[in-house]
Amino acid sequence: MQIDQARAIFTERGVTTALVVDDVYDPFERYEQEDLERGFALFEASDDLAPAFEAVGGAVPPDPENLGAQIAASVALAEALEQARQGDAGPLQELGNAVFGRVADDRAGRLKPLEDLIRVLGELGVTVTTVGSDGPGGQGAPKYPLIFMDYYLGSKGAPSIEKSRQRIEEIVSHYGPDEMPLVVLMSSELKKDKEAGKFREQAKLLGSQFKFARKAEFEDDSMEFVSSLATMVRFLPQTRTIGAFVKAWSGALSDAIKDFEKAVMGLDLQDYFQIRTKLGEDAAARFGDHVSGLFDGFLRRLVEDKAGLRSATASMNALSFAGRPPSPFAPSETVVKMADAAAFQSLPEPLPAQPGRLDVELGDVFISDTGTGTKRVKKACVVISQACDLEHGKTQTVLLLKGVVTKRTGAKVDRVPGNRPIIRTDLFMHEGDNLIIDWDASDLMTLPVDGFIRQMGEMAYEKVARLRSMQALALQQRFAAHLTRVGLPDSPPPYRYPNIEVLIRRGGGKERLFDPVRKGGLACVIGDERQEVVLQEQLLTRIATSLAGVNEAGLDAAELEKARALLGNWQERQKLLTVSLEGSKAQIGNVAIMDRETPMAAGDGMPKDSFLAISLYP
């Protein structure tokens, strides 16, 4: 992306002002006691300093404190020493450097990346306001669509992460949903994106309106930073719509909880008696679960009926994306948890054992995990007997549907032989693994109620989860072969965070460009049938840097240069940030991306026509 292209995006989105908050702009002492002591020592070491000092209005000091008092009392004397620092070498220059140089040089070093940032923003048509650690904030303060916040914000000389969080919360507290800024957290010291993510979470900032940047990015490769920032600015309307929706949902939930508590607190014992009576004695053993379900539906209705949320939902319905938005961080694992929660509920506390009553309900999922190592086998079965029959003890058998459990890996096997009716549970989180369950409606099992628990135990099955009612009913319906089926709500795509190895061709073989990168959020595999891979800029920068310094002996010079050019060209490099896979593979230029079950072994060949391969594996 060229600077004029980025400038057009900033102008189109109305991002013409920015705020930079950094303690380097705080009032500061130009020298400290140790600086005065160093300057005073020069008078004792040099006979030439005294006349030079007297010539600019000073008097030979008897001690460091007197030297400081003279400089503090005379603006002209202080300016003369400052000017001497920039002049010809001599005793007065030495004195000026001794007193002012340490603080001035330190501040100049801290200012340099921010000056680079301000220069680049100026080229984008953005006017910058700089403030120290105490401002601005609160009602009536100017509003900025773009805010740069220092991670370690000074507080009486002591850097404080907490103060940085408090300051950004104070600044944005009076912004409306349609005014929320893009916040760039910046630091010279912080290296880990995880810590930046923690800052965002604790400061209650929206992930899609937040970016972390190392200050070195402002001076080392500003166009890379500008392109990344411009892409975020491009999608500012979408992020504000999403932010308004999240805020409306949170507000509606908070208000609904108050309404819920008021309504539920008004229920009389007679109300609970009537609810329990309607269940009947058999189902009443799960009275708490039934009331919890009633509360759940009532609370959801109270949330959904809030006018603000209805309006925000309508805006979300109209949301569209002209192109792919950026991913400042690896996609959040929260989406994985949401997908699991959409299909499964937490198991309730087990009922006390009672003759003639079976603690099993529609949708209960059992897992059998047998074998060890490579011969480990996971099987599943789920209860699909009618819920009312189980509740009221009207059946002598329990009907179960069997399924195949597989760990989510790069291999996607189509397990739908012939016309066998298969329904897939996209994501099941169990014992730290992300699993897929393919239920086969033609593979059934029935067990008598009497002895059910014993027989399940003999087959090494353990109850681990319960499907939500819609998913359980869909399985029931597939089994019953109804002409119509219950439509499942779309669930978010599943994510995996793999290990990474990067390999290059050397001679007739291959070698690693650097040691494998363990799971750390630098790559993410999204989806199953239609997979996409998200690679982080940090990974691509590391690859580009390694390629620049690689030993070229035995390498194909033309292919090496082609790979370097691909990773060195910002626009071409964008193609590697998000890549669609076909058959778990993709290739951009001579760079291949592979989603594999295992690392590349000695006998595995590089993909055809590739010089560099990015291999992802569990």
User: What is the rounded radius of gyration, in angstroms, for the C-alpha atoms of the chain?
Assistant: 33
Cis peptide bond prior to 136, omega within 30° of 0: yes
Per-residue model confidence (pLDDT) at position 430: 79
Model pLDDT for residues 414-436, shown as the tens digit of each residue: 444 444 556 777 677 777 777 88
What are the structure tokens assigned to 223, written together? 């166009």
**Residue 123 CB partners (closer than 8 Å, separation 6+):** 3, 7
Judge whether residue 487 has pLDDT over 70. Answer: no
**Residue 78 CB partners (closer than 8 Å, separation 6+):** 30, 71, 72
Count of CB atoms situated within 10 Å of the CB of 65: 13
Per-residue model confidence (pLDDT) at position 352: 63
Per-residue model confidence (pLDDT) at position 503: 94
Judge whether residue 125 has pLDDT over 90. Answer: yes
**CB-based contact 84:93 (threshold 8 Å):** yes
Judge whether residue 127 has pLDDT over 90. Answer: yes
DSSP E strand boundaries for 249-339 = none
Q: What is the mean pLDDT of the segment spanning 444-451?
A: 84
**CB-based contact 180:172 (threshold 8 Å):** yes
**CB-based contact 56:80 (threshold 8 Å):** yes
- Tell whether the torsion through CA atoms of 294, 296, 299 and 303 is positive or negative: negative
**CB-based contact 252:306 (threshold 8 Å):** yes
What are the structure tokens assigned to 322, written together? 């002209």
Question: Torsion-angle region of residue 393: left (phi > 0), alpha (psi -120 to 50) or beta?
Answer: left
Per-residue model confidence (pLDDT) at position 418: 47
Model pLDDT for residues 277-308, shown as the tens digit of each residue: 776 665 666 778 778 878 888 898 899 889 88
State pTM to two decimals.
0.62
Per-residue model confidence (pLDDT) at position 489: 53
Q: What is the mean pLDDT of the segment spanning 231-248?
A: 87
| Residue whose tokens read 């010809």 | 88
Count of CB atoms situated within 10 Å of the CB of 90: 14
Distance (Å) of CA 278 to CA 274, 291, 614? 6, 12, 61
What's the DSSP call for residue 469? Answer: H
At 368 the three-state DSSP class reads strand
The torsion of the CA quartet 172, 176, 177, 183, rounded to 10 degrees, works out to -20
Total residue length of the chain: 618
Count of CB atoms situated within 10 Å of the CB of 188: 13
**CB-based contact 379:403 (threshold 8 Å):** yes
At 372 the three-state DSSP class reads coil
What are the structure tokens assigned to 294, written together? 């009633």
Distance (Å) of CA 273 to CA 264, 388, 393? 14, 20, 22
